[in-house]
Amino acid sequence: MTNLTVFNPAQVPAFARKGELSDVAKSLTGGSGASVKRISTKGGVFRLVAGGKEVASIDDRHLDVVIVNAAPKIGRTFYAGQYVEGQASAPNCWSADGNTPDASIKEPQAPSCATCPQNIKGSGQGDSRACRFSQSMAVVLANDVHGGDVMQLTLAATSIFGKDEGDDKRPLQAYARYLAAQNISPEMVVTRLKFDTKAAVPKLFFKAARWLDDNEYAAAIEKGQSEDAKRAVTMTVAQADGVTKTSAPAQLEGKRPAAVTPEPEEETQQPEEVKADMVDEPEKRKPATKATAVPKKAASLAAAVADWDADDE
C-alpha cells in the first residue's frame, strides 16, 4: 500500500467509513480516542498525521478540501525551547482567543497577551516574536465529503495574512474576503490548497475550485457541526497529537525583555513547520470607497467560480 492510497476513499471498505473507534480500540490505545487527525504541511508536503504519527503523504503540490469549520479567533502559541526535529512538545503557553492565556496554563507568561514580553519583536529568533499567532480550521478531503474524516489544518502567518495577488495567489483572509464579496461561504465550494513554490517556508495559497453539489453541501454542514470539527478548531497541534510534555526553556543571552504594551501585530507560526516568522503586521484595511458589486443571480456566481477554475494546472 502506498501513502497515497490512505487518501483514496475507494480503498476504504464500507464498514470502516463511520470513522468511529470501537471500545476495543479505545482500550488498546489507552485513551478515549479523542485525538484529532490533521493535515501537516511540514517540508512543503501535504501529510496526514494521526496520533502524532505521519501515516500518509502526497507528492502533489495542491490538495482539494472543503472548509467545514474554523476557529473564531486568531490564537497564540509560545514554546520556551528551541524546535528540535523529531521531538514533539506541547506549548508552554497558549491562547485560543489571542487575548489571554488559556485557563489550563500553569505558568502563563503574562496576564494578557497584549502585555506579554513574548509578544515583543526581538523576543524570538531575529526580529520575530517568541509567541506566534495561529488559526485552525476543520476540513474534509473534497474527494470524499460524505465519508471522509474531519481533519485539523493549522495555519501560519504566511498562509493567513498577506496581499491579495489575485487568481490562485490569495492567502486565507484575502481568499475569505474574496468569497464574501460575492456572498459565497467556504462551505459551499471546494477549496484548493496550493504551495507557494517561491516561499522559503511552507506557505499556502487558496482558490475556489468548484461548487459542491447539494448532497455534498449538506454533508459539509453536518460535518462542520460534529464533535471532531469542534475539537479540530479548539485544540492546539500538540493536543491533537496527544502530546503533553512541554519544551525546556531555551538558554538565551542577555536579559528577558520587560513587559510592555506592544503595538498589535498579526503573526503566526506552526512550530513544527515554521521555525522563524518574520511576517510584519498586516496593514489595517481602510473603509472601501465603493462597495464591491455582489452578483444577484446564482448563475453569475457559478460563472465566477468557473472562471477561477479555468486556469487550473
Give the model confidence (pLDDT) of 76-91 as tens digits.
888 886 655 556 677 8
pLDDT higher than threshold 60 for residue 118: yes
* Segment of 2-11, 15-24, 147-156 carrying the highest mean pLDDT: 147-156
Identify whether 22 is part of a domain: no
Average pLDDT estimate for 59-77: 92
Mean pLDDT of 140-156: 93
CA-CA distance, 191 to 181, in Å (whole number)?
Answer: 16
| 313 — pLDDT class (breaks 50, 70, 90) | very low
Q: How far is CA 195 from the centre of its chain?
A: 14
pTM for the whole thing? 0.69
Q: Is residue 3 part of a domain?
A: no
Structural domain includes residue 282 = no
Q: In whole angstroms, give the CA distance from residue 227 to residue 58.
A: 27
Average pLDDT of the chain to the nearest whole number: 74
Contact between residue 223 and residue 68 where contact means Cβ atoms under 8 Å apart: yes
Distances (CA, A) of 25 to 7, 19, 20, 64, 238: 21, 12, 10, 30, 21
**Taking 70 as the threshold, does the pLDDT of residue 142 lie above it?**
yes
**3-class SS of residue 191:** strand
What is the pLDDT at residue 207? 95
Please say whether the beta carbons of 260 and 122 come within 8 A: no
Segment among 28-42, 155-169, 211-225, 281-295 with least mean pLDDT = 281-295
**Domain assignment of residue 17, yes or no:** no
**Domain housing 56:** 31-274+294-310
| Pick from 146, 147, 170, 176: nearest CA to 158 | 170
Residue 288 has pLDDT above 50, yes or no: no
Q: Which residue is associated with the grid cell 487575548?
A: 99
Per cent of the chain over pLDDT 90 is 35
With respect to residue 122, please indicate whether it lies within any of the assigned structural domains: yes
- Among 64, 299, 301, which Cα is nearest to 184's? 301
Closest CA to 137 of 237, 213, 219: 237
The mean pLDDT of 24-30, rounded to a whole number, is 53
Backbone angles phi, psi at 58, to 5 degrees: -130, 150
Q: Give the pLDDT of residue 293.
A: 36
Judge whether 20 lies within some domain: no
| Higher-confidence position of 130 and 152 | 152
Residue 312's pLDDT band (boundaries 50, 70, 90)? Answer: very low
Q: Structurally, how many domains does the chain consist of?
A: 1
**Chain centroid to CA 231: how far?**
13
The stretch 110-124 carries a mean pLDDT of 87
Say whether pLDDT at 57 is over 60.
Answer: yes
Summarize pLDDT for 227-270 with one digit per residue, the tens.
999 999 988 887 887 776 676 554 444 444 454 444 433 333 33
C-alpha cell recorded at residue 125? 529568533
Does residue 281 fall inside a structural domain?
Answer: no
8 inside domain: no
